[in-house]
Chain A
Amino acid sequence: MAAPTIAQTSRRTLSGAVGIGIAVGVYGISFGVLAVAAGLSPAQACVMSMLVFTGASQFAFVGVLAAGGGALAAMGPAVMLAVRNAAYGVSLAPILPRRLRDRALLAQLVIDESTAMARAQEDPAAARRAFLATGVSVWLCWNLGTLAGALLGGGLGDPRTLGIDAMFPAAFLALLAPQLRRPGAPVAAVAGAMIAVTALPFAPAGVPVVAALAGVVPGVLVARGVRA
């Protein structure tokens, strides 16, 4: 199934998929470095990138660990950030192959980049090819980047001296910025930030970030007001 599909994929889609893959690979290097700095073994960092394969969740997970939270506290924000993949999966379901086995396998490639590339296509066949090309390219590059970063990161020394702790907020800011254009998003961001800072002094590590999810409510209300 894969061979003819790739052969028919337009050059434009392929070059887009490779370009996105390279960018994500670089991002994977920083994930590998941060994961090892947060206490994961290189093997754990690599298994996480292969099987979780959702950048923001993975950064959130190791970020909470690095800030002193336990593994269970790190699960909350990581799972919440992965919830949007469920919405992507539902929206992509119509363009995926019919066979259940193929659908179950390709579900692993449902992420921001593959969804965005599929949505940008004119017809379902092109959308399927764009989804597949982007998903495979991003998966390969993300995992190669993680491996390189995890091997490199172990030899770097004290993460604070190198400013590695400052890489986390910078990475999240780069992920957040393009999403602020959605209606209600700035309000949701400010509300979430305020909730987290307020909860930080007394809530267990990881909990302030999950509590910030309540910031969606004022965001949705404002977005509704804008449309009405």
Chain B
Amino acid sequence: MSWFVLLALCFVSYALKAIGPVFAGGRELSPQVRRTLDLVPVPLLAALILVQTLGDGHRLAIDARLPALGVAAVLVWRRAPFLVVVLAAAGTAALLRAVA
């Protein structure tokens, strides 16, 4: 993995955080703009979930990741702690692959 890209990401993430504290000394965003920005992560996270569950290069594939996501969904719904959700998903996929 390239250090150059990694440091570029470091710079961009810091710059985004610093816009408000360094440049916009106490100006408020309009509620409409803030609501739109609040929604930005939502479709991105939903896309990441599907791409990483079903994506296999450029193909869609159904494998052990899908039942693992199902288990994670039930645990998220039951408000389980983050680590429990993530480990249960890994355990489900590992178990199904060991059996198959």
Which residues in A have some Cβ–Cβ distance to B below 8 Å? 23, 26-27, 29-30, 38-41, 44, 47-48, 51-54, 56-57, 60-61, 63, 65, 67-68, 71-72, 74-75, 77-94, 96, 100, 103-104, 106-108, 110-111, 160-177, 179-180, 182-185, 188-193, 195-197, 200-202, 208-216, 219-220, 223
Contacts and interface: CB of A to CB of B under 8 A. Distances in A.
Contacts of A182: 35, 38-39, 42
The range of chain B's interface size is: 35 or more
Contacts of A67: 51-52, 55
A188 B5 contact: no
Given A27-B83, A47-B10, A176-B45, 17 more contacts: A44-B3, A52-B13, A53-B13, A80-B40, A83-B40, A89-B21, A107-B21, A166-B93, A168-B52, A169-B89, A172-B48, A174-B86, A176-B42, A180-B42, A188-B39, A196-B51, A200-B54
Interface string B12-26: 111011111110111
Contacts of A200: 51, 54-55, 58, 60
B43 A30 contact: no
A151 B19 CA distance: 34
A48 B24 contact: no
| Chain A CB within 10 Å, residue with most, of B51, B72, B73 | B51
Contacts of A172: 45, 48-49, 52
A201 B17 contact: no
Contacts, number: 313
Contacts of B25: 93
Nearest to A80: B44
A84 B65 contact: no
Mostly, the B contact residues are helix
Interface of B: 1-3, 5-10, 12-14, 16-22, 24-29, 33-55, 57-60, 64-65, 68-69, 72-73, 76-77, 81-83, 85-95, 97-98
Contacts of A170: 68-69, 72, 85-86, 88-90
A206 B89 CA distance: 23
Contacts of B54: 197, 200
16 contacts: A30-B82, A30-B86, A56-B45, A83-B37, A88-B17, A103-B22, A163-B68, A166-B64, A166-B93, A173-B69, A188-B39, A189-B43, A200-B54, A201-B60, A210-B44, A220-B35
